[in-house]
Amino acid sequence: MRVGTLAWAGVALAASLGSIACRKNEPPAPTTTASASPAEAPAPVAVAEELPRCRAEGAKLDIAGEDVVVGDAVVAGDALFTGLVRREGTKRAASILRTGLDLGSPKFIEIGPALGDDPPPVPYGAGNAVFAAYFARKAVEPSPKAARGVLGTRELRLVRLDASSTFKLEGSVVQQADESQAFDVAWTDPSAAPLVAWDEDAPLGPGRMLADRGVIKVQALTPGAKPLVASPDTSDAESPRLLPRKGGYWLAWLATKPEVEDAGAPSKATTDEGPGERRAFRWLELVTLDAKGETTSKVRRISSEKGRAASFELSKGAAEELVVVLQDEAAATEGAGARVLRYVVTADRVEPSDLVDGGVGTAPVELVPAAAPRWLAWTDVADHARVLSLSPGVLATTPPTLEPALDPTRVLAFAPPSSLFGLSQEKGQIVRFTCP
C-alpha cells in the first residue's frame, strides 16, 4: 500500500537547492582596507530570502476516537477522504473519514475491524468515484506451518464509496501474509476494472526457512484473473507503484542488494542499517504492462544501483511522459541530508536531474497529487518543513520555502486553488492551510 506513508514535512542546518537564506555561520562579507581602491571594493549585494507561503486558515478537525492512526488522503469533488484506524471503546475499526473541504460535516465510514498492525484503508479517486483499499482477515492462531516459516494469507479488498457514505465490494486479491503491507491500485479508465500491485516473499528454496528476496505481483480485478509475477528472478523487489499510461500501466519498484566488500564478505558498514539489518543499496526498476497486467517491456533500471532510494512517486509530465520523483539517502550518511531526484523516462532514454540537492531529512518526501500546481513537501535535517511548487512538468517554479506553519505537519492533500491539508502530529488534528 501507499504507506504514508510516497510517505510523508527556523533556519535550516542544510540548504536545499535554490533556497536563498542568510546563515550565521557563513564568513562575513569582504571588507575594504585602507590600501584598497574604490574600484577594487566589492559591490554591495542584496540577499532576498523567500518568504513562507502557507498559513493556517483556522479550519481544524479533531479526530474522534482513541489510538488514532492516520494514513493517506485524497480530494474528490467537494470532499476530503482520509484513511484511518481508531478505537472507540473496545472496538478498533478501519475507517474512511469524509469531510467537506472546509473540514465541516465529518462522517466516519467504518469499513471493517482492524487487526494487529493492519494499516489504515487507502482512499483512491477514479473519475467521479471514490474507492478504498484495505486488508481483511481473521485472527489466525499459531500453527506448525507458521513455525516452519510457511505464512498464511490475507485478503486485500477494494470497495466503492457512495454519496450516502456506504460502500460496496468491488473485488479482492489474496496475498501472502508476510511482513510487508505495500500495495497500489490504479485504473486506465474510471469505468474499467483496476489493477492491483503488491509485494510478497518469494517462494522458499530447498532447505530454506526464510525467503531471500521479494517479488512484485499484479492482478486485474476481473472475473477469473490470477496473480502475475512482474519482477524478474534477479531482483529483490519491494514497494510497488502503478501509474496509468496509454494502453496499460507503468509499474515501478525498489530493488535491493546488500552492501559487500570486494572480497564478498559483508563490510562493517553493512550492519548499520538497523537492528538485525544490513546496509543495502536500493534503486528503482521499471516495466510497462498492458491493461491486464502482462509485461510488455524488459526491466529498466532508472536510478543508480549504488544509491539508497528511500521512497518514490510516479507522475506524468506536461507531455504525458513518465516523471519519477525519488528520495535518495546516499548523501545522508555523510551528514549532507538526502536528495530528491527527478527522472524523465521516455522509450529510449532516462534524464536525471536534481529537484532538491541535499538537506532533506529522514521522513518520506510527499509529492502531493494535484493537476496544477503540484507540491513537493519535506522536512529538512533540522526538522523544519519546506515546500516546493512544481510545474505540470514536475519542475520547480520557485525556490523552496521554509514553512513554520507546517511544523510539525504531515502533508495529506491539496485542493485547488490554494488549500493544503495536513495532519498536525503534535495535536492529532487535520488542519487546512492556504498556500497561494
Angle at 224 between CA 220 and CA 229, to 5 degrees: 50
**Sequence spans of domains, the chain:** 55-203+212-434
Share of the chain above pLDDT 70, in %: 78
Of the candidates 230, 216, 212, 233, which has an alpha carbon nearest to the alpha carbon of residue 149?
212
Predicted pLDDT of residue 255? 97
Buried b / exposed e along 342-362 (16+ C-beta atoms within 10 A): bbbbeeeebeeeebbbbbbbe
Report, as an integer, the average pLDDT of 393-405.
93
Grid coordinates belonging to 205: 528454496
Mean pLDDT of the chain: 82
* CATH code assigned to 55-203+212-434: 2.130.10.10
Q: Is the dihedral of CA 388, 392, 394, 396 positive or negative?
A: negative
Predicted pLDDT of residue 63? 94
In 34-193, at which residue ranges do the beta strands (DSSP E only) sit? 55-62, 66-76, 79-88, 91-100, 107-113, 122-126, 129-136, 153-161, 167-176, 183-186
Q: How far apart are CA 286 and CA 83, in angstroms?
A: 28
Q: For the segment 164-175, what is each residue's pLDDT rounded down to a tens digit?
A: 778 999 999 998
Residue 435 has pLDDT above 50, yes or no: yes
Query: Of 18-27, 235-244, 306-315, where does mean pLDDT reach its minimum?
Result: 18-27
Query: Of 45-49, 275-279, 311-315, where does mean pLDDT reach its minimum?
Result: 45-49
Q: For the segment 369-379, what is each residue's pLDDT rounded down to a tens digit?
A: 665 567 899 99
Query: Of 71-75, 176-180, 287-291, 335-339, where does mean pLDDT reach its minimum?
Result: 176-180
40 conformational bin, left if phi > 0, alpha if psi -120 to 50, beta if neither: alpha
Q: Which residues contact 85 (CB under 8 A, 6 or more apart)?
A: 67, 68, 69, 71, 92, 93, 94, 95, 114, 118, 119, 120
Residue 410 has pLDDT above 70, yes or no: yes
Predicted pLDDT of residue 306? 93
Pairing state of beta strands 129-136 and 153-161?
antiparallel
Q: Which residue has the cell 501474509?
A: 177
Q: For the segment 201-220, what is each residue's pLDDT rounded down to a tens digit?
A: 887 666 665 667 899 999 99
Q: How far apart are CA 379 and CA 430, in angstroms?
A: 18
Of the candidates 386, 378, 422, which has an alpha carbon nearest to the alpha carbon of residue 402?
386
Residue 271 has pLDDT above 70, yes or no: no
Residue 105 has pLDDT above 70, yes or no: yes
Report, as an integer, the average pLDDT of 257-262.
72
- Is the Cβ–Cβ distance between 63 and 430 less than 8 Å? yes
Q: How far apart are CA 82 and CA 91, in angstroms?
A: 19
Query: Of 26-35, 96-105, 329-338, where does mean pLDDT reach its minimum?
Result: 26-35
Q: Band the pLDDT of 238: cuts 50, 70, 90.
A: very high
Q: Which residue has the cell 535535517?
A: 381
Length of the chain: 436
Q: Which residue has the cell 518514490?
A: 312
- Is the Cβ–Cβ distance between 360 and 337 less than 8 Å? yes
For the chain, the maximum distance between any two Cα atoms, rounded to a whole number of angstroms, is: 88
Share of the chain above pLDDT 90, in %: 59
Q: For the segment 33-62, what is each residue's pLDDT rounded down to a tens digit?
A: 333 444 444 454 444 457 999 999 878 999
Q: Which residues contact 27 (CB under 8 A, 6 or more apart)?
A: none
Buried b / exposed e along 215-250 (16+ C-beta atoms within 10 A): bbbbbbbeeebebbebbeeebbbbbbbbbbbeebbb
Q: How far apart are CA 139 and CA 148, in angstroms?
A: 19
Report, as an integer, the average pLDDT of 7-20.
32
Q: Which amino acid is at 118?
A: D
Predicted pLDDT of residue 321? 93
